[in-house]
Amino acid sequence: MYIKTIDFAKYSSIKIGQPTEVLMIEKGDTIPNDRYLIGGANNLLISPTPPPLMMLSKDFAYIKEEGDMLEIGAAMLTGRIVSYARKHHIAGFEFCAKLPGTMGGMLFMNAGVKEYEIFNILHSIKIEGEWIKKEAIPHGYRFANLGGIATAARFEIHRGFSQERLDRLLSLRSNQPHDPSAGSAFKNPSGDAAGRLIEAVGLKGFRKGDMAWSEVHANFLVNLGKGSFEEAKYLIDLAQEKIYKAYDIHLVTEIRIL
Ligand SMILES: Cc1cc2nc3c(=O)[nH]c(=O)nc-3n(C[C@H](O)[C@H](O)[C@H](O)COP(=O)(O)OP(=O)(O)OC[C@H]3O[C@@H](n4cnc5c(N)ncnc54)[C@H](O)[C@@H]3O)c2cc1C
């Protein structure tokens, strides 16, 4: 293992944070249990005082075929997974296009688009050295209780990459803002949409400093320039408070605040 300084104002998708020392885990290392693991930082909001951080090194960024199984390391980027699936005619990973992050981040969040979720196609996850079948892992909408650090995942190989499905899913993304964000800020409460609620309490487009609830899609907290952690946190708290007062609904953040 070794230390790397990562500037989260550049690295994180929402472009907030500061240069921070991150412990890089290499193959064979014992994974410490007193540090918070990050992936591609596409779903994170880093405060000025984050907990000690760690990250899987490129040793965990691999894809290999073993018989009828595809094994993907947890540090592998989603974009590269889609390219691999296209090149090798493998079905099921089309929805990962434009879903920024790593395999590990997808597993932790049970990331997905519409009816496609990573757990639908998953076979098993290697968690701290042990392969665990997905049936043994509690999971649901944007949630999976991994119980530890995932270092790899296995998928049954089904041939037939669908460019048509990929194009259809990409077109769904056209209603997403292009400004830096961390994806959806809140999980949708059951039977409703967080974006609709944010709009209903008058916060769509509402700005604090350089952070705003997007005009394009209200559930995206966007950075319009030099947005800060404090501005982002202010808007998150404000939306939660207003929606709770108006509808008695407590919105849960999808973004991890560190
Ligand atoms: C523009 C944009 C659009 C997005 N659209 C969607 C969408 O449509 N659907 C969707 O589901 N998400 C969406 N997201 C969110 C994001 O793409 C996913 O949550 C993605 O899975 C995050 O991966 P990451 O590697 O960046 O994880 P990070 O943001 O770095 O971490 C997220 C969480 O995963 C945990 N984690 C990371 N790696 C591991 C591991 N190896 N083992 C255990 N835990 C781990 C971290 O501890 C953290 O709690 C979007 C984000 C952006 C910026």
CA of 43 to the centre of ligand 1 (A): 5
CA of 95 to the centre of ligand 1 (A): 14
* Residue 53 beta carbon below 6 angstroms from any ligand 1 atom: no
Q: Which of 55, 45, 51 is nearest to 17 (CA)?
A: 45
Tokens of 98: 């434009």
pTM: 0.94
- Whether the predicted pLDDT of 175 surpasses 80: no
- Percentage of residues of the chain with pLDDT beyond 90: 88
Cite the active site residues.
142, 184, 254
Question: Which residues, including other chains, have CB under 8 Å from residue 138's CB and lie 6 or more apart?
Answer: 144, 145
Four-residue CA torsion sign, 129, 34, 72, 131: positive
- Whether the predicted pLDDT of 174 surpasses 80: no
* Residue 72 beta carbon below 6 angstroms from any ligand 1 atom: no
* Residue 109 beta carbon below 6 angstroms from any ligand 1 atom: yes
Residue 181 confidence (pLDDT):
96
* Residue 43 beta carbon below 6 angstroms from any ligand 1 atom: yes
Q: What is the mean pLDDT of residues 26-31?
A: 95
CA of 40 to the centre of ligand 1 (A): 7
- Whether the predicted pLDDT of 88 surpasses 80: yes
Residue 249 confidence (pLDDT):
96
* Banded model confidence at residue 248, pLDDT cuts 50, 70, 90: very high
Tokens of 216: 């394009």
Q: What is the mean pLDDT of residues 86-114?
A: 93
* Banded model confidence at residue 62, pLDDT cuts 50, 70, 90: very high
> What is the full DSSP assignment across 168-179?
HHHHHGGGS--S
Residue 10 confidence (pLDDT):
97
- Whether the predicted pLDDT of 57 surpasses 80: yes
Residue 81 confidence (pLDDT):
97
- Whether the predicted pLDDT of 221 surpasses 80: yes
Which amino acid is located at 35 in the chain? Answer: R
